[in-house]
Structure 1
């Protein structure tokens, strides 16, 4: 009966659904309710596991889901929520990102392009190792030269030839180099370790020696001409040995009195260039000589006498004695010590002279240790040129103090310090096209060092001073920057930099240039205290 009453209601609802009609739903069964509750519980458990994994990923592994829907929902949640879940995790990630940025940050300083790191100085052990290798090389040269000289036992094997003299010269040079290296090795082993000085050191320089001439005695020249007319030629061979420092040795070519004379002097066409020298260098030039006799036809006297003696003996000997004589003459001994014996050179020292920076302008020197009967006159002539390698250059604006009508005035100038001379122009472009308005040569500087002017003397900051001296001229008077001291005029130069760093750079550059000029230029004035 109840079913009959509700049959009409279901028909009308399905036929004309109205929003205002009352909604009647069918009740769920117990099985459906259980299934729905289990699905909701499983979903809540998976969401809780995901939250714990996100908070502590290293402590608890990710729980595997048996439902495909939960896996899809988890992947979508990871892609859709890139932000940290809590404020603590946000702060942690922020600190990590800042730490990575600070680690990858590079600091670049505006260093000068011309600033090059100084080369590393070799240690004492490295120097000794290099010298020992050089000693072994010179020992091999000595052995080879001695072996070559041991083979020169007659005229047919080079006895008395120029080749033999060249071998004697090579033997002497190698022996001298070996002795110099051994002495330097012993000095390095016994030398104590010293720290490099902190003061300004002058730069290195170069030295060139050319036009070397060795004057001969007039008596020797006349006697040599008379012996040549008689058919007997007695020649003297010379060469020069230049010692610079403990191990640097240079040699000239062989010059003979027979074919290298120019007037009354023996001329050497060699040119010696010595680089990287200190200002307190000491160079020794040694003269070595050997005597050589020969006939005018080029055959040595020893060979002539041998031929004459062999002819006389050949006539007086019987055939049997002649065979034994010829057999005995076939065996020759190259040297009393055997073919591997070390020989001593036949060249001897006949004169020496020492040269330093003060002798650069001299062209004639007196030889020491010259034998009394030596063909040379005891003098030595050459031309020496010295040049220093000062690379100090500084450019920038400086404000220069000047006297204008008895009043002090400051003028801003573009200045350039080049090879010990300070040039000044009005503008930087004038350096290429115009002459300098003012030149200050550091060779005339009498200041011991260039220092900052005290504020009591000059109120302008970053001001430094240098004093120069020159001969007195007509019309010179005392003013704010010049002072008449009798025969000379002392000038006070005040230069002001723009900043403290520029002042320090200018003072260091000018002090270095001043040290270079005073060390290498003999015309530079000495400092006055």
Structure 2
């Protein structure tokens, strides 16, 4: 399924069918034997066509006669489950609601869901990356491509088709509520976008202009400057649109720094 709404709800209902066992198994075998003993003759095409028309006419008449009758089903509802967007990251077993006390079901159902997010946000352009090397601020012009939830940076525009990006920023890791202009205390260059991501702390992490160590996790900052106010507004709009869509479909995406230190696997 594609083009699904964030208000998606999947309603799964489980039915069972109780079969009557009034007819003995031996009687069924006898009837089949009696039919198989009869001489079978292949009918002529004329007779075959006549029989088909007769059966079709009888079937149509029966349907017309039964239109006003109440149609009853032998299927009985044995349980149901409603799944919405926040449940898509869960796994089996899934609990069933409304399971009858005499049901043979155990109250759960097993199936796998593999949701994928296809975000149609696209944007390209040159941005100036402000960073730091050996304690010295650096500025490098990068060709930046926003495709879905990923922002990729190349040295040259032609490298997009031939080389791997120098940097890939997964917006899922962005923990701030939204992406905005940075303050001049962090970067003095005007019209600069700040993207802050969070990851588990590595042994070589040290505090700098682009890295801030917090207990067992690390904040990584990306400073991207625009040439014009129009470019700035467009990039902020596109980036925030992508983050909003990711968070609507995946409620595990962080909105803020953790209140307690993450458990380190180091």
TM more than 0.5: yes
**Aligned residue in 1 for 2:109:** 380
Is this contact kept in 1: 2:200–2:218, CA < 8 A? yes
Counterparts of 2:222 and 2:158, CA distance in 1: 24
Runs of 4+ in 1 over 3 A off after TM superposition: 294-300, 454-459
Give 1:456 deviation, angstroms: 6.0
Give 1:277 deviation, angstroms: 2.5
More helix by share: 1
**Aligned residue in 2 for 1:425:** 154
Counterparts of 1:286 and 1:522, CA distance in 2: 26
After superposition, give the CA deviation of every residue in 1:309-354 in whole Å (9 maximum; x if it has no partner): xxxxxxxxxxxxxxxxxxxxxxxxx9xx976223343322111122
Could you tell me which runs of 5 or more consecutive residues in structure 1 were left unpaired when the two chains were aligned: 1-272, 304-333
**Aligned residue in 1 for 2:170:** 441
Counterparts of 1:276 and 1:427, CA distance in 2: 34
Give 1:457 deviation, angstroms: 5.0
**Aligned: 1:353 with 2:115:** no
**Aligned: 1:471 with 2:200:** yes
**Aligned residue in 2 for 1:493:** 222
SS in 1 for 2:68: coil
Aligned residue-pair number: 222
**Aligned: 1:281 with 2:8:** yes
**Aligned residue in 2 for 1:40:** none
Mapping of 1:271-310 within 5 angstroms?
A: 273=1, 275-294=2-21, 295-296=24-25, 299=28
Counterparts of 1:297 and 1:400, CA distance in 2: 84
**Aligned residue in 1 for 2:55:** none
Give 1:459 deviation, angstroms: 3.4
Counterparts of 1:437 and 1:403, CA distance in 2: 15
More strand by share: 2
Counterparts of 2:155 and 2:66, CA distance in 1: 81
After superposition, give the CA deviation of every residue in 1:23-46 in whole Å (9 maximum; x if it has no partner): xxxxxxxxxxxxxxxxxxxxxxxx
Is this contact kept in 2: 1:387–1:520, CA < 8 A? no
**Aligned residue in 2 for 1:37:** none
Is this contact kept in 1: 2:94–2:108, CA < 8 A? yes
Is this contact kept in 2: 1:423–1:439, CA < 8 A? yes
Is this contact kept in 1: 2:13–2:81, CA < 8 A? yes
Scaled by the length of structure 2, what TM-score is found? 0.75
Is this contact kept in 2: 1:423–1:436, CA < 8 A? yes
Give 1:430 deviation, angstroms: 0.8
**Aligned residue in 2 for 1:137:** none
Is this contact kept in 2: 1:362–1:383, CA < 8 A? yes
* Higher RCO, 1 vs 2 (CA within 8 Å, ≥6 residues apart): 2
Counterparts of 2:112 and 2:217, CA distance in 1: 33
Give 1:387 deviation, angstroms: 2.3
> Relative to 1, partners in 2 of residues 1:431 and 1:523: Cα closer, same or farther, differing over 3 Å?
farther
> Relative to 1, partners in 2 of residues 1:458 and 1:472: Cα closer, same or farther, differing over 3 Å?
closer
Counterparts of 1:460 and 1:472, CA distance in 2: 28
> Relative to 1, partners in 2 of residues 1:299 and 1:276: Cα closer, same or farther, differing over 3 Å?
farther
Counterparts of 2:186 and 2:173, CA distance in 1: 23
**Aligned residue in 2 for 1:513:** 242
**Aligned residue in 1 for 2:37:** none
**Aligned residue in 2 for 1:264:** none
Could you tell me which runs of 5 or more consecutive residues in structure 2 were left unpaired when the two chains were aligned: 32-61, 259-266
After superposition, give the CA deviation of every residue in 1:229-281 in whole Å (9 maximum; x if it has no partner): xxxxxxxxxxxxxxxxxxxxxxxxxxxxxxxxxxxxxxxxxxxx4x4332343
RMSD: 2.6
Counterparts of 1:402 and 1:458, CA distance in 2: 9
**Aligned residue in 2 for 1:481:** 210
Give 1:469 deviation, angstroms: 0.7
**Aligned: 1:401 with 2:134:** no
Which structure's CA Rg is the greater one?
A: 1
Give 1:477 deviation, angstroms: 0.7
Counterparts of 1:397 and 1:510, CA distance in 2: 15
Mapping of 1:40-439 within 5 angstroms?
A: 273=1, 275-294=2-21, 295-296=24-25, 299=28, 340-360=68-88, 361-439=90-168
Is this contact kept in 1: 2:186–2:209, CA < 8 A? no
Counterparts of 2:121 and 2:27, CA distance in 1: 60
> Relative to 1, partners in 2 of residues 1:519 and 1:494: Cα closer, same or farther, differing over 3 Å?
same
